[in-house]
Structure 1
């Protein structure tokens, strides 16, 4: 109808890996909507045509976020912005690192939600993470669902995401009219991902592909980017219509848990590498080797692909039950895991080719997601 207000959607972190996919899918599926991006960095040129405006803001700064909402009140916010400590920082328990992660993932979420509520916005889809549970490295999590209690995660990422999720879904905000839900994706991979793939691919060059920590029978969850995007779009549509997802947290994944080390074999094979043999390393020896590697990389200033935290993590089983997302959102993965991993590897091959071309031409390669990224 002429004069009818158009639906306004704000995607925080819309220039990032997951955010870009959500923006593209929303624009394709709902071209009549106005989609805005709030991020520290502007979206790439090809994404500009999908959005009505870019709002530069630092979510860790309440002032910066408040200024973004001064004359803007979206109908719904998709909050994907956050930080995942990369490589050796992923398993760090350093207090200084905690303040940085908490400042973005928890305080940043508070800033976004408080500013949105003050502007009159009452709908929010929060990108939480399966790490709210599994960043407790002392336990396995078989077929985990939303009935599993939180509060045991001690790694910075999962702890901060759990705190932020609790803030978003607090009864206080629901009483004030907030209609919100939280999605807990598994490890996300895709053609534009460089963080997860780089960790796995680096093992080839370092000659570390022959080793399996423990007996190798632990299961692990993955999620292809298109499926993560689909779940978020379904959540947006739900909160704008039936609102049956309001107040809920939901695990999402590819619903295809696989042997952790076999997934690595499949990925390496996409790059033409097949280990000639496999050596199962007992836990005690793996811990000692990881400690030595940590020391070596500390002296050299590099980043360890294997450390004590990753050893512990690589021996555990954790995969989720998606029944709640299936029931409430109608979520069904679009792309199976084998195809998703193949596409992700093809994307990383292009990334490596681009880096090689830059070096050959004497240019410094552009580093994407070099410090941190949103992958869970």
Structure 2
């Protein structure tokens, strides 16, 4: 039985830790290492062989970590995901921070990987490399025909640049066999961003409106399905695998595009919340209101929930074809979207209850 040494960057994060667990379960004879700026939890420490506590923005630190280290394949999940006020930021300082992690960090990791003699690389890109172009809809996206390079938001722009570097002809000429996976919005029990943002809207009383006609489709993916795609890509690129993923960018979704506003309502229903009325706000009006709120934010310094970026995200359509993921990787989601939402929300409710009990205990103390 073949055995390999796999390095997972971002091994302490939402996706990275899940990839480590899945690899350990499916391939218990493989050696798995992790790299992250933050130490992993104890459950991950028990699985991995080595841990590198590295800031990938530092080229020297990355080179030092790889100086006497020779993995068979690197899975690069490390990065910063922009959310809340950072999602639609136009500040150059925010762009420089995101670029330093998501693009420069990827360059550092990949160059060190090749210098260590490793030529197999799975890069966690993002669907935002396409859809962070807020001025267009993207219906049934295909990897080979949907244009890249149009994303303007910091996250998608940084992911697009990094993906282009990983899949560049110059790296292929260096012997690199790499693929770029493009997950859409990932939900799951350990998610700390998506569900918290949607749950906050209940407390804010901002669940009663729909921007536009509400017919815009949107892709989501459950965490274990995204992990399955990563494991399949790893197996594909390793010696003995088909190798068909090399040089490819591949969308990873739940194969169930859902109406954006219906999805939000389904999430809120898991918390016992049902908006008493749903008001359709014309897009033009929503844009004007968002512009006014942006001005007020600039004047007062207090961030509003709505801005022009979030308005555009609320009425656009973007979903991907599953064809390439099925054909190249054999990927099919095993957990349906509704079940994924249920599992995610149940875990989030437990987390809220733990936080409530912690606060009560603190007050009593």
In the superposition, the TM-score normalised over structure 1's length comes to 0.93
Aligned to 1:157: 155
CA contact (8 A) 1:202 1:305 kept: no
Any unmatched runs of 5+ in structure 2? none
Shift of 1:47: 1.5
Deviates more, 1:63-72 or 1:266-275: 63-72
Name the Cα RMSD after superposition: 1.5
Native 8 Å contact 1:179 1:239 kept in 2 = yes
The superposition leaves residues 102-144 of structure 1 with CA deviations (integer Å, 9 ceiling, x where unpaired) of 1111100000000111111110000000011100000000000
Map of 2:64 onto structure 1: 67
- More deviation, 47-56/312-321: 47-56
User: Does the CA contact (< 8 Å) of 1:203 and 1:305 recur in 2?
Assistant: no
Query: What's 2:146 paired with?
Result: 148
Q: In 2 relative to 1, CA 291–205 (structure 1 residues): closer, same or farther, beyond 3 Å?
A: farther
Aligned to 1:207: 205
Alignment correspondent of 2:53: 56
Alignment pair present for 1:242 and 2:239: no
Match of 1:179 in 2: 177
Give per-residue Cα distances to partners, 1:181-204, cap 9 Å, x unaligned. Answer: 000011000011120001111110
SS of the aligned residue for 2:277 comes to coil
Q: What CA distance in whole angstroms lies between the structure 2 residues aligned with 1:304 and 1:239?
A: 45
Q: How far apart are the structure 1 equivalents of 2:233 and 2:302?
A: 40
Displacement of 1:296: 5.6
- The offset of 1:293, in angstroms, is 4.2
Aligned to 2:108: 111
Matching of residue 130 in structure 1 with residue 124 in structure 2: no
**Residue 187 of structure 2 is aligned with which of 180, 186, 189?**
189
Contact 1:10–1:35 (Cα < 8 Å) also in 2: yes
Distance in 1 (CA, whole Å) between partners of 2:18 and 2:315 is 31
SS for the counterpart of 1:361 is: helix
- Kept after mapping to 2: 8 A contact 1:60/1:111: yes
Give me the whole-angstrom Cα distance separating, in 1, the residues matched to 2:290 and 2:264: 19
2 CA distance for matches of 1:292 and 1:242?
54
In the TM superposition, what are the counterparts of 1:278-297 in structure 2 within 5 Å?
278-294=278-294
Q: Could you say which residue in structure 2 is the equivalent of 1:20?
A: 17
User: Following superposition of structure 1 onto structure 2, how do residues 8-47 of structure 1 map, counting pairs within 5 Å?
Assistant: 8-47=5-44
Secondary structure at 1:139 match in 2: coil
Does structure 1 residue 219 correspond to structure 2 residue 190? Answer: no
Q: How many Å separate the matches in 2 of 1:120 and 1:149?
A: 33
Question: How many residues matched?
Answer: 360
Residues 52, 298 of structure 1: CA spacing in aligned structure 2 closer, same or farther, 3 A cutoff?
farther
Which residue in the other structure is 1:370 paired with?
none
Map residues 75-90 of structure 1 onto 2, 5 A cutoff: 75-90=72-87
List per-residue Cα deviations over 1:141-195 (Å, max 9, x = no partner): 0000112111111111111101100100111111111110000011000011120
For 2:47 and 2:343, how far apart are their aligned partners in 1? 23
Q: Which has the higher contact order (CA 8 A, sep 6+)?
A: 1
Q: Which stretch of structure 1 is more off in the superposition, 89-98 or 252-261?
A: 89-98
Structure 1, unaligned stretches of length 5 or more? 364-376
Normalised by the length of structure 2, the TM-score is: 0.95
- How big is the shift at 1:336? 0.4
Q: Secondary structure at the match of 1:250?
A: strand
Distance 2:292 2:273 in 1: 26
Query: C-alpha separation between the residues in 2 aligned to 1:252 and 1:10?
Result: 21
Q: Secondary structure at the match of 2:82?
A: coil
2:91 pairs with 1:94: yes
- Is 1:228 aligned with 2:200? no
